[in-house]
């Protein structure tokens, strides 16, 4: 049955009479819709236009890309995938296993990807030892963005542990300032939890509990303490939280209506696009943690094989989207680190240079961690189930730690 389905999907993806035309017009599906993201996506469009490719963008709302991925699946099954799609993590290998992606191994060899990429970017973009996607960004997710003016006004400083953060939230609330810029959506809430889990529990705990889903670690006192802190935070912000998008939350942070935001460095891209001085006005601090660590996710571009695309076009696209010049300009706008090691970061924002420094240190100390929430560490099924349990716990006081842990334990682990 499985073999039959694969054959069917292959037949859809590679019709026998597929016209291998030299398509000069391609569709580009991604979920970059905020000011900083649009600026970065336009840099990609421009790089492709310089390579004589006309680009039609299909930008789908939704941080984390859940909606974009559902649309991509529907289109691929219908036999009309876009030529270029933004992808993350293990999903790249799943698409490759089904035969949807162009193999980029030849270009990767010509361009020395193996020696130029960071090891974390090498692994995730290969299937059976061959490159099947072009690595673009490395985003840091354990950032705490801080409005300095707001903190100064109440004589507060950026906290470096979660208990102090909660005290700071309480002080702000007493002065009628909303402490946290966050929308009540699964992805944003789960990112906050992931920051707390690593910051409070440490790297080994994070790996064992949320990557290996080890029962003993999940049932440990650390999990109960983390859940209790998470409950406190939820009680402090629940009364006023709404369903805003992450970039709307950043706007409230910029305006000083909220004091903190925990999110990846796409926030930096947003600040730069809006000409906000970072790190002077909005500071970037590692989210409170016992040690320096780096939680990452990465964006890649995958080139989908269909009747409307050709290998020649795929190569042109991949070449343009992996060049040093493109990766430099794109990542500067995006707020991320380039996936290639051989890029000079001296003109990057100080927050990015800090991220790079912390990434190197984290790598040496075994604290370079894939995001479980942002599709990097676990299969999409486990990721979605975990995220929705975290969200449910955050929003429903009647769920206690025991029940939360039990629900996580019951998530099927299959790939």
Q: Enumerate binding residues for ligand BGC (CB under 6 A).
A: 31, 37, 63-65, 88, 139, 266, 297, 299, 374
Which residue, 37 or 305, has its beta carbon nearer to ligand BGC? 37
What are the DSSP calls for 96-146, one per residue? HHTT-B---HHHHHHTTHHHHB-HHHHHHTEETTEE-SEE-EEEE--EEEE
Q: How far is the CB of 258 from ligand BGC (least distance, A)?
A: 18
Q: How far is the CB of 88 from ligand BGC (least distance, A)?
A: 6
Type and span of the H or E element at 58: strand 54-59
Which residue, 194 or 299, has its beta carbon nearer to ligand BGC? 299
What's the first-to-final CA gap in the chain, in angstroms?
18
Q: How far is the CB of 382 from ligand BGC (least distance, A)?
A: 17
Q: How far is the CB of 173 from ligand BGC (least distance, A)?
A: 28
Task: Report the distance separating Cα 253 and Cα 240, nearest Å.
Answer: 15
Q: What are phi and psi of 290, to 5 degrees?
A: -75, -30
Which residue, 8 or 381, has its beta carbon nearer to ligand BGC? 381
Q: How far is the CB of 368 from ligand BGC (least distance, A)?
A: 17
Reduced to 3 states (helix: H, G, I; strand: E, B; else coil), residue 273 is helix
Q: How far is the CB of 79 from ligand BGC (least distance, A)?
A: 27
Which residue, 120 or 156, has its beta carbon nearer to ligand BGC? 120
**156, 171 Cβ separation under 8 angstroms:** yes
What are the DSSP calls for 215-268, one per residue? HHHHTSHHHHHHHHHHHHHHHHHGGG-B---HHHHHHHHHTTSEEEEE--THHH
Which residue, 91 or 405, has its beta carbon nearer to ligand BGC? 91
* Residue nearest to ligand BGC according to CB distances in the complex: 266
Type and span of the H or E element at 171: helix 162-174
Q: How far is the CB of 299 from ligand BGC (least distance, A)?
A: 5
Q: How much helix, strand and coil, in percent to the nearest 5, is found in the chain?
A: 50, 15, 35
Q: How far is the CB of 310 from ligand BGC (least distance, A)?
A: 27
- Strands of the 258-262 sheet, one edge to the other: 178-180, 258-262, 143-147, 282-286
Residue 85 class from Cβ within 10 Å (0-12 exposed, 13-18 middle, 19+ buried)? Answer: buried
Which residue, 37 or 185, has its beta carbon nearer to ligand BGC? 37
Q: How far is the CB of 369 from ligand BGC (least distance, A)?
A: 15
Which residue, 236 or 298, has its beta carbon nearer to ligand BGC? 298
Q: Is the peptide bond before 16 cis (omega within 30 degrees of 0)?
A: no
Which residue, 31 or 113, has its beta carbon nearer to ligand BGC? 31
Q: How many CB atoms sit inside 10 A of residue 353's CB?
A: 14
Residue 209 is given by DSSP the state I
140 DSSP β-pair partners: 296
Which residue, 39 or 208, has its beta carbon nearer to ligand BGC? 39
Q: How far is the CB of 334 from ligand BGC (least distance, A)?
A: 7
Which residue, 88 or 111, has its beta carbon nearer to ligand BGC? 88
188 DSSP β-pair partners: none
């Amino acid at each position: 049955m499985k073999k039959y389905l694969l054959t069917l999907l292959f037949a859809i993806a590679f019709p026998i009479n597929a016209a291998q035309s030299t398509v000069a017009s391609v569709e580009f599906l991604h979920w970059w819709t905020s000011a900083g993201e649009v600026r970065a996506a336009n840099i990609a469009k421009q790089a492709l236009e310089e390579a004589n490719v006309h680009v039609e963008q299909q930008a789908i709302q939704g941080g984390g890309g859940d909606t974009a991925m559902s649309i991509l699946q529907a289109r691929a099954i219908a036999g009309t995938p876009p030529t270029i799609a933004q992808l993350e993590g293990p999903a790249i290998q799943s698409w490759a296993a089904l035969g949807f992606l162009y193999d980029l191994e030849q270009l990767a060899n010509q361009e020395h990807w193996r020696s130029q990429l960071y090891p974390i970017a090498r692994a995730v973009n290969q299937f059976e030892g061959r490159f099947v996607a072009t690595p673009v960004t490395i985003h840091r997710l354990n950032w705490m963005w801080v409005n300095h003016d707001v903190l100064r006004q109440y004589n507060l400083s950026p906290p470096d542990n979660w208990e102090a953060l909660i005290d700071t939230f309480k002080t702000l609330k007493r002065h009628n300032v909303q402490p946290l810029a966050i929308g009540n959506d699964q992805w944003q809430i789960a990112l906050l939890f992931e920051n707390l889990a690593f910051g409070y529990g440490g790297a080994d705990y994070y790996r064992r509990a949320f990557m290996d889903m080890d029962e003993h670690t999940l049932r440990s006192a650390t999990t109960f303490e983390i859940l209790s802190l998470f409950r406190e935070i939820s009680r402090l912000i629940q009364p006023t939280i709404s369903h805003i998008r992450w970039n709307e939350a950043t706007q409230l942070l910029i305006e000083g209506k909220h004091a903190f935001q925990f999110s990846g460095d796409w926030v930096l891209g947003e600040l730069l696009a809006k000409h906000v001085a970072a790190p002077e006005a909005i500071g970037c601090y590692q989210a409170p943690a016992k040690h320096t660590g780096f939680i990452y996710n990465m964006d890649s571009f995958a080139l989908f094989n269909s009747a409307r695309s050709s290998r020649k076009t795929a190569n042109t696209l991949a070449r343009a989207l992996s060049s040093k010049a493109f990766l430099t300009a794109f990542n500067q706008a995006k707020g991320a680190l380039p996936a290639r090691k051989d890029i000079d970061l001296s003109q990057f924002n100080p927050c990015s240079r800090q991220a790079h420094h912390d990434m190197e240190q984290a790598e040496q100390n075994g604290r370079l961690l894939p995001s479980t929430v942002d599709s990097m560490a676990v299969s999409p099924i486990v990721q979605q189930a975990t995220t929705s349990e975290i969200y449910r716990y955050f929003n429903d006081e009647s769920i206690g730690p025991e029940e939360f842990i039990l629900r996580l334990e019951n998530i099927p682990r299959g790939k």
